[in-house]
């Protein structure tokens, strides 16, 4: 409702303005549109007479409004509407900045006369220029003094008819169509010659241009095909390299199948170390028990010869010479072990060892048995028997040390454990850090060897893309810096990449 009210108020305002403008025109004087109709009617009559088409003057509607006159000339056989009226009156741009009606009418007559004088044929004919001057004077008198524009004089009309009659044969022979506004100073319809010239100009300009564009398109197509071929070759090379890497991994896994039986995994090595440690501790306990029991039977031989000194009296002189150095050997550990294990008297209750004592050294047989089972180990002194758990600490600390392995590239998002090497190779791009405390997890990073970085950067498509996340370098780079280590998880003998390593280029 608001929009309709605004539209109604705007329409009423326009009507009031139109009524006011009409009311401002003094009584007995024509309006601006009526004066324009008289000027345009005189111009149209002149064009029709000048072209020898006086019969068209009867179609002009000169006694009504400007719109009615416009409708009467839209048939446009002589292009009065399209070449004169529409550019000047239809657009209305020439009236900008003019406030009074007289200035607008003067501007209109000036533009019409200038358009008619622009004809080269008219300027070459003095008679036609005389008639145009008569029209100009009549229009100026009408604008300045209000003198009505009448018909041209009979002499001028007769001259015009004579000229038209004398030149009609030439005109008909030259062109079957009417002269139109070509002679009236207005651009007329191009003739066949002009059309041919226009077509030849178009052909001369656009023909080579089309040829150049077609050749350029062919060159671009050839370059595109070449780049596509080069890209296909590169993809083929990368695919063949990946296939060769996969085949090498499969071949190495097959060739190392037999060697894997001789090579122990880190878990198996830890189990073997634990078993060896347990075995060593057991043997050490046995040896400690035997060393503590050895001094008590050693006192028996000393007491035995004392009790039987009367029987072997004749044999005693040669015997002491040989066994004399033997007693000091077992006696030396006795004073050291005596203060530590002096309290327990259960050692005397074990009479199992005395039958073995006469053979020689009582500790020789268990020691030989231990040496047959375990490689030779330096036995601790009796004083070290107070801390039996000391040898286990270096083994445990050695097992807890982080281990580093070296590998080239991942395959299908995982590192194969068979490809690990203890020492860096010339093409080892990644370092795998194994922690015994977390046997199922590991971390990895790009090697710090700058000699390998150039190879890794050159083959980044299949050596870095699967395991690392990075920003594509915009310029030449030579180094790779690991900002954050990646995480691996062991699955079925392979180390799957759980988190990619973050790297940057320098």
CB 163 within 8 A of CB 127: yes
SS (H, E, C) 47-78: HHHHCCCHHHHHHCCCCCCHHHHHHHCCCCCC
Using left for φ > 0, alpha for ψ between -120 and 50, and beta otherwise, residue 92 falls in left
Q: Which of 125-129, 242-246, 456-460 is predicted with the least confidence, judged by mean pLDDT?
A: 456-460
SS3 call for 178: coil
Contact 83, 186 (CB under 8 A): yes
Q: Is residue 415 part of a domain?
A: yes
* Whether pLDDT at 223 is above 90: yes
For the chain, the average pLDDT equals: 71
Handedness of CA 293, 299, 304, 307 (dihedral sign): negative
| Long-range contacts of residues 381-385, Cβ cutoff 8 Å, at least 24 apart | 382/288, 382/291, 382/333, 382/336, 382/337, 382/340, 383/336, 385/288, 385/291, 385/340
Per-residue pLDDT at 348: 46
Entry field: residues in the chain? 506
Q: How far is Cα 490 from Cα 497, in angstroms, rounded to an integer?
A: 9
Inter-helix orientation angle 126-145/32-50, to 10°: 170
pLDDT of res. 53? 84
pTM of the model: 0.31
Within a domain: 314: no
Last residue of a domain, one of 130, 155, 182: 182
pLDDT at 166 over 60: no
pLDDT at position 20 is 45
C-beta separation of 46 from 80 below 8 A:
no
Contacts by residues 345-352 (CB-CB < 8 Å, ≥ 24 positions apart): 347/292, 347/293, 347/296, 348/296, 350/293
What angle (nearest 5°) sits at the alpha carbon of residue 108, between those of residues 49 and 180? Answer: 30
User: At residue 457, does pLDDT exceed 80?
Assistant: yes
State both tokens at 380.
């601790």
- pLDDT (tens digit per residue) in 387-424: 444 444 444 444 456 789 899 889 888 998 888 888 88
Strands 430-435 and 438-446: antiparallel
Boundary-marking domain end, from 162, 182, 202: 182
Contact 39, 105 (CB under 8 A): yes
Counting residues of the chain whose pLDDT is more than 90, the rounded percentage is 11
Residue 203 pLDDT more than 50? yes
CA distances from 471 to 124, 271, 359, 480 (A): 80, 44, 81, 12
Please identify which residue in the block is written with the tokens 């009549």: 138
pLDDT tens by residue, 27-48: 457 888 888 888 888 888 888 8
Helix (H, G, I), strand (E, B) or coil at 135: helix
Cα angle, residue 12 at apex, residues 10 and 14 outer, rounded to 5°: 70
Q: Which residue has the higher pLDDT, 251 or 37?
A: 37
Phi, then psi, of 96 in degrees rounded to 5: -70, 135
From the list 72, 49, 52, the residue with the least C-alpha distance to 60 is 72
Q: How many domains does the chain have?
A: 2
Q: What angle do CA 342, 343, 348 make, to 5 degrees?
A: 80
Give pLDDT tens digits for 176-189. 333 444 444 444 44
Q: What's residue 431's pLDDT?
A: 93
H or E element: which one contains 390? none
pLDDT for 302 equals 43
Q: Give yes or no for residue 360 having a pLDDT over 60.
A: no
Sheet containing 403-407, strands listed edge to edge, beginning at the edge strand earlier in sequence: 403-407, 430-435, 438-446, 486-491, 494-499, 414-416
Tell whether 173 is covered by a domain.
yes
Residue 13 included in any domain: no
Task: Write out pLDDT tens, residues 287-342.
Answer: 888 877 655 544 444 444 433 444 444 444 444 444 444 444 444 444 444 444 44
State the Rg of the chain over Cα: 62
How do residues 254-279 score in pLDDT, each as one tens digit?
A: 665 555 556 778 888 888 989 998 98
Range of the domain at 472: 400-505
pLDDT for 247 beyond 70: yes
Residue for token pair 């066994």:
323
User: Does 502 have pLDDT greater than 60?
Assistant: yes
Q: Is residue 165 part of a domain?
A: yes
Residue 478 counted as domain residue: yes
Which of 149, 182, 215 is where one domain is finished?
A: 182
CB 256 within 8 A of CB 307: no
Note whether residue 434 is domain-resident: yes
Residue 8 lies in a domain: no
Yes or no: say if 274 and 281 are a contact pair by the CB < 8 Å rule.
Answer: no
pLDDT tier, 13 (very low <50, low <70, confident <90, very high otherwise): low
């Amino acid at each position: 409702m608001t929009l309709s009210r605004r539209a109604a108020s705007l329409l009423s305002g326009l009507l009031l303005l139109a009524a006011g403008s009409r009311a401002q025109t003094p009584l007995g004087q024509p309006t601006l549109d009526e004066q324009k109709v008289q000027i345009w009617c005189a111009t149209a009559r002149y064009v029709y007479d000048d072209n020898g088409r006086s019969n068209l003057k009867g179609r002009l509607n000169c006694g009504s409004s400007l719109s009615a006159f416009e409708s009467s000339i839209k048939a446009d056989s002589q292009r009065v509407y399209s070449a004169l009226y529409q550019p000047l009156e239809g657009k209305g741009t020439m009236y900008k900045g003019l406030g009074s009606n007289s200035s607008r009418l003067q501007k209109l007559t000036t533009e019409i006369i200038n358009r008619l004088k622009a004809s080269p044929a008219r300027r070459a004919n003095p008679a036609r220029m005389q008639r145009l001057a008569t029209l100009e004077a009549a229009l100026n008198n009408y604008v300045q003094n209000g003198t009505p524009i009448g018909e041209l004089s009979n002499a001028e009309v007769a001259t015009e008819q004579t000229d038209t009659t004398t030149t009609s044969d030439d005109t008909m022979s030259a062109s079957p169509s009417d002269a139109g506004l070509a002679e009236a100073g207005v651009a007329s319809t191009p003739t066949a010659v002009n059309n041919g010239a226009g077509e030849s100009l178009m052909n001369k300009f656009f023909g080579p241009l089309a040829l150049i564009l077609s050749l350029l398109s062919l060159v671009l197509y050839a370059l595109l095909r070449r780049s596509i071929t080069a890209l296909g070759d590169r993809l083929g090379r990368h695919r063949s390299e990946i296939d060769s890497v996969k085949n090498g991994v499969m071949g190495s896994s097959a060739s190392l199948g037999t060697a894997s039986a001789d090579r122990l995994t880190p878990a198996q090595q830890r189990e073997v170390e634990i078993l060896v440690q347990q075995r060593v501790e057991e043997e050490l306990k046995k040896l400690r028990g035997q060393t503590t029991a050895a001094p008590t039977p050693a006192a028996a031989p000393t007491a035995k010869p004392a009790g039987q000194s009367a029987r072997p009296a004749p044999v005693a002189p040669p015997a002491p010479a040989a066994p004399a150095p033997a007693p000091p050997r077992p006696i030396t550990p006795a004073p050291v072990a005596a203060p530590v294990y002096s309290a327990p008297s259960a050692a005397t209750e074990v009479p199992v060892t005395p039958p073995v004592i006469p053979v020689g050294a009582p500790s020789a047989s268990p020691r030989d048995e231990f040496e047959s089972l375990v490689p030779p180990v330096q036995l601790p002194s009796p004083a070290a028997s107070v801390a039996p758990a000391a040898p286990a600490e270096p083994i445990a600390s050695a097992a807890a040390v982080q281990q580093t392995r070296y590998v080239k590239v991942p395959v299908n998002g995982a590192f194969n454990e068979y490809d690990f090497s203890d020492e860096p190779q010339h093409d080892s791009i990644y370092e795998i850090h194994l922690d015994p405390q977390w046997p199922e997890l590991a971390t990895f990073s790009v090697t710090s060897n700058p000699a390998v970085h150039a190879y890794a950067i050159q083959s980044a498509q299949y050596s870095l893309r699967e395991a690392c996340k990075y920003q594509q370098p915009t310029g030449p780079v030579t180094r790779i810096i690991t900002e954050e280590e990646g995480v691996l998880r062991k699955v079925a003998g392979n180390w799957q990449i759980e988190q990619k390593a973050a790297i940057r280029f320098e």
